C-alpha cells in the first residue's frame, strides 16, 4: 500500500475486493436479471433504478456514477450508514492500518490535503493549504502555505511541524515505524519552517516526481514515537490528533460513528453523522436488504438479486481502480523455491476463476490484467507479466517446474521430495460463498498439478495480524489506488526493503529499477520506466494479477456525491441526500 501515496490493500478475495473489471471500449453489458445482455440502456449518473429490468450498460470511463450534484442541491442534516471491515490499527500510514476500509474513514476525519477528479487531476484542499509552489528545481523545493485557521482537534495549530512529523514517520530511516510506503519521503532532505510557522518548506536530496501525492494526509507531531505510531492506534482513532469536518464520536470493534466537528473551521458538512458498521460481507448484504445500511458493494449475481428485493434503491456501476492478485510468501516453506511458485502460477486457471466469480452474468470476459500498478484504461498501461503468465494455465509446465527442483509424483497424485509431500497453505478472508468457491477452485487446480493445499479461512478482522506475522503462504488479495500515479507504488510493492512487499522477494536490480520512475518528470516516460521494473519483479513469481473488477454499488435512492467514480476523491463536505 502506501504511506499514503501508493496502493491500499484490500482484504483478500475475489469478493472482498468487491468488484470486476469492465475494460474500456468493450461493447458488452451486465444483465440486471442475470440473462441476455442485449438492449441495454445508458447508465444515469445516479445509477440504474433498482426496479430496472433491462440489461445494465457498460459504464463510461469518462463519467462518474456517484450522483454528482452541487452542495446547494444536498439537504442539510441526516445520516449515512455504511458497512466496512474492522481494521484494529487506526493508523492508515502504518502497514497494518493501510487498508481500503481505513482510508474511507480517514477521508472524513483526518487532514486531507488533496482532492482528485475522475481522471486524477489534482486540486489542493484550501481548507488545509492555501497555496503550494515549487520554489526551486535544484534542489527541488516545495513551499506549502498552511491555512491560518487550520488546527488539530486538541487546539494546537497545524503548522510546519505536521509536515515534518509526516516525513519522519514515512521516510524509512527508522524501520520501527513500519510505514506502508516510504517512496518519495525517502528522498526528502529536510522539512523546515518558512517565513513563519504556517509555512512548510520541503527540500529534496534529488528531484522526485510526481511530488504532488506526498503529504496527502498529515500526521500529528504528538504521536511520532515508533511505539505510538506502530501500536498506539490499536482500537484508538486518536481524535485529538485528527482534523477534519467530522470527528470520531465513538468507536469499538463493532463500528464507529462520526459526527460534525465543532472545531472545524471550513464549510459546514451536509450530514449530521456517518455510521460505520464493521461486519462480514454476508451480514452487510442482509443489513442492506433490511434497510439497515445505505450502501453495499455488489460482487456477484446472487448479491445483485438479493439487494434488488429492496425498494427505493439504485445500482451504480463504474470502472474500478483495484487489481485482484495472488501473493506468495517467498520466505515460507516450499515457496522459497521459485519453481514451486512457478508451478502455482502456471497451474492457476484465471479464466475459470472469472467464471466462478461472475456466474450468472452474461458479459464479455476481459483479458487478465497485466499490471498491479496501472489499470488497462490508463495511458501507458502495458501487460508486464512473463510470457508464461500470459500463456494462461499450463499444467504440464507446472509439473515440469516441480520436477526441475527434484520433486517426484507419488501414487497419491501429489509431488514429494525427501519423503515430504508438497503442501501449501491458502489463506483467505471473509464469509462470502464466492470467496469460498474461489478457494475450492484453487484447491482443485493445484490437485491437477500435484500440489496439496490446506485451506484456511479467517475473519476479515484477522488480515492485519496475519500479514504482520507473515502467517500465510498463498493469499488472494487486491491493491487499490486513489490516484493515477501507479509508479509511486513500485517501491511499496516490489522493493526488497519495503514493509508492504508481501512476497518478501526482491533483488538489487529490481530495487534499482524501482528508483528510476521517480527521477522522471514526464508522466508517460515515468510509466514506461515503471513497466520495465514491474516486468522484472514478475520474473520472481511471487505475485500475479488475476482480475480487475468494476465497482458496483447498491445505494439508497437519493444519496449524493457518493459512489463509484474512478480516481475522484469523495468530498466529505457535500456527501448527503439530494434535495
Give the domain CATH number at 469: 3.10.105.10
If you ran DSSP here, which 8-state letter would residue 164 be given? H
Mean pLDDT of the chain: 90
Q: Is residue 529 a part of any domain in this protein? A: yes
In whole angstroms, give the CA distance from residue 522 to residue 159.
Answer: 31
Cell of residue 227, nine digits: 511505539
pLDDT at position 368: 84
pLDDT at position 463: 87
- In this structure, the dihedral spanned by the alpha carbons of residues 115, 117, 123 and 126, taken in order and rounded to 10 degrees, is -50
What average pLDDT does this structure show over 303-324?
A: 92
What average pLDDT does this structure show over 260-288?
A: 95
Helix (H, G, I), strand (E, B) or coil at 208: coil
- 156, with CB counted inside 10 A (0-12, 13-18, 19+), is middle
Q: Are 225 and 333 part of one and the same domain?
A: no
Strand 452-458 to 423-429 pairing: parallel
pLDDT at position 271: 98
CATH number at residue 176: 3.90.76.10
Q: Where are any strands of DSSP class E within 300-354?
A: 313-318, 322-328
Q: Is residue 175 a part of any domain in this protein? A: yes
Please answer whether residues 413 and 429 qualify as being in contact, where contact means their C-beta atoms are separated by less than 8 angstroms: no
Q: Is residue 473 a part of any domain in this protein? A: yes
pLDDT value at 182 more than 60: yes
What average pLDDT does this structure show over 231-244?
A: 97
Residues in the chain: 579
pLDDT at position 425: 98
Listed residues 230, 245, 267: the one ending a domain: 230
On the CB side of 189, CA atoms within 13 Å amount to: 11
Q: Which has the minimum average pLDDT: 191-205, 385-399, 426-440, 515-529?
A: 426-440
Q: How confident is the model at residue 121 (pLDDT cuts 50, 70, 90)?
A: very high
pLDDT value at 459 more than 50: yes
- Residues whose CB is less than 8 angstroms from the CB of residue 226 and which lie 6 or more positions away in sequence, other chains included: 174, 176, 177
Q: Are 345 and 201 part of one and the same domain?
A: no
Q: Are 521 and 399 part of one and the same domain?
A: yes
The closest of 421, 423, 479 to 455, measured between CA atoms, is 423
Strand 295-297 to 551-556 pairing: antiparallel
pLDDT at position 507: 97
Helices (H) and strands (E) in the chain, counts: 14, 27
The CA-CA-CA angle for residues 389, 391, 396, to 5°, reads 90
Strand 452-458 to 30-31 pairing: unpaired
- Residues whose CB is less than 8 angstroms from the CB of residue 71 and which lie 6 or more positions away in sequence, other chains included: 267, 270, 573, 574
Q: Are 478 and 341 part of one and the same domain?
A: yes
Q: Is residue 123 a part of any domain in this protein? A: yes
pLDDT value at 279 more than 60: yes
Q: Are 530 and 415 part of one and the same domain?
A: yes
DSSP assignments along 252-313, one per residue: -SSEEEEEE-TT--SSPPS-SEEEEEE--HHHHHHHHHTTS-SEEE--SHHHHHHHTTSSSE
pLDDT value at 423 more than 70: yes
pLDDT at position 365: 53
Q: Is residue 562 a part of any domain in this protein? A: no
pLDDT at position 363: 55
Q: Is residue 355 a part of any domain in this protein? A: no
Domain containing 497: what range? 329-349+390-541
Q: pLDDT for 34-54, tens place per residue?
A: 433 445 678 999 999 999 988
Q: Is residue 268 a part of any domain in this protein? A: no
Listed residues 188, 206, 230: the one ending a domain: 230
pLDDT at position 249: 97
Q: Which has the minimum average pLDDT: 32-46, 245-259, 482-496?
A: 32-46
In whole angstroms, give the CA distance from residue 55 to residue 363.
Answer: 10
Q: How confident is the model at residue 196 (pLDDT cuts 50, 70, 90)?
A: very high
Listed residues 175, 207, 230: the one ending a domain: 230
CA distance readout (Å), 418 to 73, 339, 405, 409: 71, 16, 12, 12
Please answer whether residues 355 and 48 qualify as being in contact, where contact means their C-beta atoms are separated by less than 8 angstroms: no
What average pLDDT does this structure show over 120-143?
A: 96
Task: Please give the share of the chain, as a percent, with pLDDT higher than 90.
Answer: 76
What average pLDDT does this structure show over 431-438?
A: 84
Positive or negative torsion for Cα 391, 353, 489, 481: positive
pLDDT value at 62 more than 70: yes
The closest of 212, 215, 209, 222 to 181, measured between CA atoms, is 215
Q: Are 339 and 207 part of one and the same domain?
A: no
pLDDT at position 13: 33
What average pLDDT does this structure show over 80-84?
A: 96
Q: How confident is the model at residue 468 (pLDDT cuts 50, 70, 90)?
A: confident
Q: Which has the minimum average pLDDT: 102-116, 315-329, 352-366, 414-428?
A: 352-366
Measured N-to-C along each axis, helices 433-449 and 395-404 cross at an angle, to the nearest 10 degrees, of 60
pLDDT at position 33: 41
Q: Is residue 507 a part of any domain in this protein? A: yes
Structural domains counted in the chain: 2
Please answer whether residues 95 and 21 qualify as being in contact, where contact means their C-beta atoms are separated by less than 8 angstroms: no
In whole angstroms, give the CA distance from residue 218 to residue 215.
Answer: 6
CA distance readout (Å), 349 to 399, 415, 443: 15, 19, 11
Amino acid at each position: 500500500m502506501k504511506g499514503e501515496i501508493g496502493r491500499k490493500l484490500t482484504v483478500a478475495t475475489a469478493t472482498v475486493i468487491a468488484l470486476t473489471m469492465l475494460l474500456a471500449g468493450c461493447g458488452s453489458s451486465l444483465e440486471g436479471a442475470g440473462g441476455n445482455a442485449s438492449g441495454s440502456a445508458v447508465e444515469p449518473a445516479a445509477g440504474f433504478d433498482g426496479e430496472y429490468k433491462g440489461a445494465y450498460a457498460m459504464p463510461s470511463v469518462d463519467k462518474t456514477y456517484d450522483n454528482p450534484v452541487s452542495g446547494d442541491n444536498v439537504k442539510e442534516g441526516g445520516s449515512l450508514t455504511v458497512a466496512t471491515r474492522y481494521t484494529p490499527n487506526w493508523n492508515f500510514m502504518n502497514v497494518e492500518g493501510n487498508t481500503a476500509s481505513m482510508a474511507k474513514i480517514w477521508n472524513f476525519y483526518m487532514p486531507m490535503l488533496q482532492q482528485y477528479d475522475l481522471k486524477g487531476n489534482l486540486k489542493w484542499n484550501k481548507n488545509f493549504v492555501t497555496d503550494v509552489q515549487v520554489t526551486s528545481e535544484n534542489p527541488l523545493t516545495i513551499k506549502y502555505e498552511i491555512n491560518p485557521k487550520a488546527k488539530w482537534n486538541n487546539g494546537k495549530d497545524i503548522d510546519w511541524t505536521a509536515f515534518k512529523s509526516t516525513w519522519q514517520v514515512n521516510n524509512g530511516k527508522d524501520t520501527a515505524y513500519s510505514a506502508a510506503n516510504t517512496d518519495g519521503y525517502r528522498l526528502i532532505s529536510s522539512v523546515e519552517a518558512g517565513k513563519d510557522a504556517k509555512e512548510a518548506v520541503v527540500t529534496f536530496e534529488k528531484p522526485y516526481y510526481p511530488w504532488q501525492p506526498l503529504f496527502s494526509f498529515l500526521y500529528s507531531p504528538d504521536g511520532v514515537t515508533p511505539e505510538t505510531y506502530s501500536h498506539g492506534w490499536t482500537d484508538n482513532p486518536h481524535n485529538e490528533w485528527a482534523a477534519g469536518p467530522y470527528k470520531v464520536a465513538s468507536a469499538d470493534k463493532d463500528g464507529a460513528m462520526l459526527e460534525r466537528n465543532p472545531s472545524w473551521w471550513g464549510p459546514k458538512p451536509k450530514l449530521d453523522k456517518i455510521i460505520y458498521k464493521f461486519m462480514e460481507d454476508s451480514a452487510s448484504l442482509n443489513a442492506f436488504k433490511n434497510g439497515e445500511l445505505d450502501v453495499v458493494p455488489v460482487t456477484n449475481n446472487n448479491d445483485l438479486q438479493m439487494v434488488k428485493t429492496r425498494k427505493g434503491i439504485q445500482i451504480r456501476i463504474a470502472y474500478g481502480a483495484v487489481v485482484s492478485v495472488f501473493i506468495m510468501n517467498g520466505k515460507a516453506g516450499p515457496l522459497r523455491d521459485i519453481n514451486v511458485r512457478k508451478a502455482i502460477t502456471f497451474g492457476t486457471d484465471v479464466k475459470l476463476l472469472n467464471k466462478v466469480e461472475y456466474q450468472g452474468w452474461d458479459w464479455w470476459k476481459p483479458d487478465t490484467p497485466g499490471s498491479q500498478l496501472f489499470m488497462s484504461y490508463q495511458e501507458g498501461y502495458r501487460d508486464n507479466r512473463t510470457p508464461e503468465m500470459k500463456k494462461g494455465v499450463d499444467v504440464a509446465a507446472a509439473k515440469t517446474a516441480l520436477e526441475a527442483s527434484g520433486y517426484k509424483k507419488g501414487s497419491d497424485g501429489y509431488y514429494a521430495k525427501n519423503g515430504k509431500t508438497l503442501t501449501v497453505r491458502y489463506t483467505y478472508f471473509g464469509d462470502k460463498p464466492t470467496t469460498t468457491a474461489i478457494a475450492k477452485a484453487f484447491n482443485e487446480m493445484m490437485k491437477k498439478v500435484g500440489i496439496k493445499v490446506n485451506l484456511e479461512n479467517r475473519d476479515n478482522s484477522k488480515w492485519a495480524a496475519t500479514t504482520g506475522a507473515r502467517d500465510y503462504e498463498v493469499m488472494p488479495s487486491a491493491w487499490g489506488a486513489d490516484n493515477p500515479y501507479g509508479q509511486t507504488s513500485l517501491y511499496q510493492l516490489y522493493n526488497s526493503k519495503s514493509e508492504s512487499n508481501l512476497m518478501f522477494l526482491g533483488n538489487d536490480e529490481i530495487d534499482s529499477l524501482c528508483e528510476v520512475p521517480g527521477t522522471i518528470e514526464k508522466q508517460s516516460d515515468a510509466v514506461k520506466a515503471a513497466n520495465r521494473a514491474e516486468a522484472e519483479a514478475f520474473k520472481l513469481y511471487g505475485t500475479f494479477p488475476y482480475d480487475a473488477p468494476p465497482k458496483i454499488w447498491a445505494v439508497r435512492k437519493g444519496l449524493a456525491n457518493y459512489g463509484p467514480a474512478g480516481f475522484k476523491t469523495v468530498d466529505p463536505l457535500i456527501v448527503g441526500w439530494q434535495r
